[in-house]
Amino acid sequence: MKDGKLKELTGKEVEEMRDKKPLPIGIDDFKTIIEEDYYYVDKTKMIESLLDDSAGVTLFTRPRRFGKTLNMSMLNYFFNLKKKEENRKLFENLYISKSKYMDQQGEYPVIYLSFKDIKALNWEKCYYLTRRLITYLYNEFEFLREKLNKKDLSDFDKVWLDEEGADWENSLKNLLRYLYEYHNKKVVVLIDEYDTPIVSGYNNGYKKEVLALYRSLYSTVLKSNAHLQFSVMTGILRIAKEGIFSGLNNLKVNSIFSEKYSEYYGMTEEEVLEGLKYYNLEYEINDVKDWYDGYQFGNIEVYNPWSIINFLDNGKLKPYWQGTAGNETINELLDRGNKEIFDDLEKLFRKEIVYKKIRDFTEFTDDINEIWELFLYSGYLTTSGEQKDKEHPIRIPNREIMEFFEDRFIDRFTGNYQKFSDTIRYLRAGNIEKFGEILQNEVISSLSYFDTDKDEKYYKVFLIGIFVALMNDYVRLSERESGHGRADLILEPKKKENPGYIFEFKVSKSEEELESYAEEGFGQIKEKKYDTELINHGVTEIIYIGLAFYKKKLKMKYEKNIIII
């Protein structure tokens, strides 16, 4: 991984940087950002858009670290009647302060919940964490007890104290009613990361139980509730309606495909330019675009805000968005992936576009093609242009995500990033003997999926790993015809003074036949003239490598060839 570097700052520029606002890295509380004068990109126009829409329940689905929680915090401080005058000051000099809707500020009781920490390995722990979160919420509204009748007080206390007989499924619905009756005002409900418990349930084998509880929690409080002013929910995925939103007819979903609200999550080009100018980094815009731009939300392109803020803070172009959310689900689907999945991944690694049917909801079925929806909604891929035959064009958005794939793919399918990198270093240097030795003794020997599986898919994936490790310096030609056929892996150097590589692999039927299969693969390269395209492109050194695998054993036959032009 190569970090981009800024020019060295002058003494004057260093002094100017000290006078700039601090950047809110890891801070998603709106009040803290405003009161402590952190750098803030004004997204308060979103409040106006929400009130213009007058939707009963709005669900926003966006990748992690694209500003969902900060926007929810902003909505809480705007609408919450607690500390109305104090919170009003937070919005001075922001867009919403000049809006006709400023009279809505501080007018409603607000229930604000975040389910971001409801992740557990089993249902019992998930159920406990959910109960604890709701008891904390009830504790925030302990003052309601003074006006509750005897029955409501009993119900309140059972939830508040986590006692036997507590009605958890109706706990949010009941709290909504208590607040309405206390204030004589309808309630705003804000639910952040609503899908985290459901994804955790799918990953850890308690999907049925978690869906049953959360379907009741959400539907009872949101479905045709006379005490509800409106609700906003956020998450990464939209769970299928029958899975979590059954019967919720007043739900309006705003996804990455929606044109409205697209500018409120992520940073627009104009906002990034303003930030770069403020921190005297505007001369880096082209590199910044390459690293962090490329996400298509609705009809605009947006930058990853987490990465931009971190870049502005330390001035180094490198990956900041550590995409861990949803990795378990994606890893499981990758493990079950077929040849078509890996063929398409390989195209994406080559910066090509692939077309896939993308639903606007996720069902968590055994369909491995769901991997494209998870990749897209989680921010690992983005859309690119118009649909074709009801399929969406998808691609890797930028260099940051490409490097994420490089690191994670190699780590996942070659056992150990460092060991594999050492192997590739010998390949780059043309030391093919050492390359084969480490490949056998330190890489393949550590991979469990080579134990018994004879599916050639895993060996194909392994070759993709070689390409991914070299893709900064090489172009893969394997999908094209070359000579009289198609080789498994042809790598053309971007700099013609470097060697080209041609790999042909075989899966042996036994350990005893390994050598003959390696010879066969090597011979096939020459016989079918797989080097034709490399020669035509002016590559003057080509290394032919025949690899034969049998479980955790391999044999290799290779030859270096100097081409006289």
pLDDT of residue 2: 44
pLDDT of residue 467: 82
Residue 372 lies in a domain: yes
Same domain for 77 and 168, yes or no, is: yes
Helix 45-53 and helix 68-79, axial crossing angle in degrees, nearest 10:
70
Same domain for 17 and 79, yes or no, is: no
Same domain for 532 and 392, yes or no, is: no
pLDDT of residue 448: 56
pLDDT of residue 218: 93
Residue 434 lies in a domain: no
Residue 88 lies in a domain: yes
Running DSSP on this structure, what letter comes out for residue 265?
S
Which residues form the domain of 546? 445-562
How many domains does the chain fold into? Answer: 4
Boundary (domain end) residue, out of 238, 262, 286: 262
Q: Give mean pLDDT in consecutive 10-residue pieces for the chain, a chain of 565 residues.
A: 50 65 96 98 98 94 95 99 97 97 98 97 98 98 98 98 96 97 98 95 92 92 92 92 72 93 96 94 84 94 95 91 62 73 87 90 77 90 87 94 81 68 86 88 62 59 81 76 70 91 90 95 94 92 92 89 79
What are the residues whose beta carbons fall under 8 Å from the beta carbon of 495, sequence distance 6 or more? Answer: 473
Boundary (domain end) residue, out of 401, 435, 454: 401
pLDDT of residue 443: 65
Would you list the DSSP string of 350-366? TT--EEE---SSB---S
Question: With b meaning 16 or more CB within 10 Å and e meaning fewer, what string describes 10-22?
Answer: eeeeeeeeeeeee
Same domain for 213 and 291, yes or no, is: no
What are the residues whose beta carbons fall under 8 Å from the beta carbon of 516, sequence distance 6 or more? Answer: 548
- Kindly state the tokens that stand for 28: 């998603």
pLDDT of residue 324: 47
